[in-house]
Amino acid sequence: MPPNDSPKTATLTTMTGGQAVVECLRREGVRHVFNVPGESFLDLLDKLYDAPEIQLITNRQEGGACYMAEAYAKATRSVGVCIVTRGPGATNASIGVHCAAQDSTPLVLLVGQVPRVNRGREAFQEIDYGRFFGSIAKWVVEADSAAKLPEIVTRAFHTARSGRPGPVVVSLPEDVLTERAEMRFPEPVPLAAPHPDPVLIAGMAARIDKAERPVLLLGGGIQYARAREAAVRFAERFQLPVLTSWRRNDAFPNNHPHYAGSLALGASPAYELAREADLVVVVGDRLSEITTGDYTFPLPGQRMIQVDIEPSVIGRQHVPEMAIVSDARLALEAALEVPREGAGSGAPERGEWIRAAHAAYEAFVKPASRPAETVSMEAVMETLEATLPEDAIFTVDAGNASAWVQRFRVYRTEDSLLGPTVGSMGYGLPAAIAAKLAHPGRVVVGTCGDGAFLMTGQELATAVQYEIGIVMLVFNNGMYGTIRAHQERFHPGRTIGTDLVNPDFAALARAYGAEGIRVETTADFKPALERALKVTRDEGRPAVLDVLTDKENISVAGTLSELRAAASR
């Protein structure tokens, strides 16, 4: 829930530091908090007992808790909240902070700390959080008195969601949480959405009209600005094919005739289109390593216009010929108001180019069947596409297993793909749980490989405990597939450390209290999926499908045999 827009006021009352933190959460409209309980924040836990409107989700490991908070923020486009204890709890949670930093996700991590009198003595589980989190958080702050907590926590939320969103870490010494003080509570700070310079917007429109082959590249800034509809109208009016950045497929409706695909790993025709462009209009994207194909795009000399809410993002990877600091939606809407008498001379030629680009995308997302000794992943994707509702939410993990859902699912609805652009393993299951909490009325399907599942698989117990009905697909080929593929390519005949001996994931799921189904053949998948959907809908239980996939078909783009053949040339 977004903060209210009432004028900034302050109320005065006396309470403990823990109570003050809970009151700040209330005022920010927080509905879910993810945590692993710890002795360093007992007073905060106690005061949450008196706040039933905030559901406290107890996790099984701090990494899973912070992943959930990060994914919840993506699913709701609000600030995710995680609470962990000092030392080991904080270091476990750091994986979620790093994910939030690279994914531009608004996150507040509240961390317990040793009492103030013990600071600097290497006390039990003491860590200097400013040094530990300093390179990956937007702001790291330690409260030195209870009276300052309302100001600190309010500022933490504002910092997390303002400009380029990101993570904030608030250190809470144990005695600060138990200390009583007079508290002044400022109202949550409304977001400032910078408006674009009209002269620059007019210049952008003129440059697009004069270009022969311009493309529009959309990133996560579109999603946080709720600019999807404006992006559609902008693409239609200016006759632009549309690309989305890595794991931001749902920033634009994929079934729209202007959509040309995602700049992701693999031989996507989207990269060919991007490199053919004579003008690249980038809106709300930081041009990450994967989106740019290892920083090879935009090409040297390729003209670019970059629109972003955060000035420091503009020009970091490629110097644009025009830079516009603005909220994404406001910039696109302003461009739609620019008069265009006599403009658009390139539009007729672009029409055929746009149609060809969308046709290439449609061909790229149609699975071409390959022989499989176990389960055909191409058939799995066809079944998912035919069976699931349009607004189903997919969560993806790291590695080769994620590529199937990224490539072959057509994302028609916003906020329907959650994945870590940081590429960290173990994300798929916690993210699915968070997505279902955020959108209980939508079908949520989590996906991961067998290696990733055992990194955070214990969070299945969390899903069972809170009756969170997700469908979890574990694509099981008995290896760390991405690293194995690299070994086959660069060190042929010398694979080591990538084979996995796994438990029966279906039996493991049943031990947790979830539905567990082992899928050994392609024919088994559809009835297994239908059973999983029924269980999640009617019983509120999670379901895990242990999908045995073919080692030979190691990735969406190639086979082990092809990798070995290429390496031997």
Residue 266's pLDDT is what? 66
CA distance 334 to 21: 40
CA distance 242 to 214: 10
CA distance 66 to 84: 9
- Residue 40 is which amino acid? S
Taking phi over 0 as left and psi of -120 to 50 as alpha, with beta for the rest, 121 belongs to alpha
Residue 125's pLDDT is what? 82
- CA-based torsion, 117, 56, 59, 108: positive or negative: negative
DSSP 278-341: SEEEEES----TTTTTTTT-SPTT-EEEEEES-GGGTTSSS--SEEEES-HHHHHHHHHTS--T
Judged by DSSP in three states, 212 sits in: coil
Radius of gyration of the chain (CA): 24
Q: Which domains does the chain have, with CATH numbers?
A: 10-186 (3.40.50.970), 198-364 (3.40.50.1220), 377-567 (3.40.50.970)
Q: How many residues does the chain have?
A: 569
Judged by DSSP in three states, 243 sits in: strand
CA distance 450 to 498: 12
Closest by CA to 325, choosing from 204, 424, 420, is 204
CA distance 560 to 384: 25
CA distance 459 to 68: 10
The one-digit pLDDT tens for each residue of the chain (569 residues) are 444 444 345 557 899 999 999 999 999 999 999 999 999 999 999 999 999 999 999 999 999 999 999 999 999 999 999 999 999 999 999 999 999 999 999 999 999 998 887 888 888 888 999 999 999 999 999 999 999 999 999 999 999 999 999 999 999 999 999 999 999 999 888 888 899 999 999 999 999 999 999 999 999 999 999 999 999 999 999 999 999 999 999 999 999 999 999 998 766 899 999 999 999 999 999 999 889 988 988 999 899 999 999 999 999 888 999 999 999 999 999 999 998 764 444 455 789 999 999 999 999 999 888 888 889 999 999 999 999 999 999 999 998 888 899 999 999 999 999 999 998 999 999 999 999 999 999 999 999 999 999 999 999 999 999 999 999 999 999 998 888 888 888 898 898 998 999 999 999 999 999 999 999 999 999 999 999 999 999 999 999 999 999 888 888 888 888 888 887 77
Q: 270 and 359 in contact (C-beta within 8 Å)? A: no
CA distance 55 to 44: 14
What pTM was estimated for this model as a whole? 0.94
Could you list the beta-strand ranges (E) of 63-113. 80-84, 107-113
Residue 251 DSSP one-character state: G
444-458 burial, b at 16+ Cβ within 10 Å, e below that, comes to bbbbbbbbbbbbbbe
Closest by CA to 471, choosing from 358, 392, 410, is 392
The CB-based long-range contact list for 345-349 (8 Å cut-off, 24+ gap) reads 345/209, 345/210, 346/209, 346/210, 346/211, 346/212, 346/239, 347/239, 349/212
- CA distance to 419, 429, 534, 535, per residue, from 469 (Å): 19, 12, 10, 8
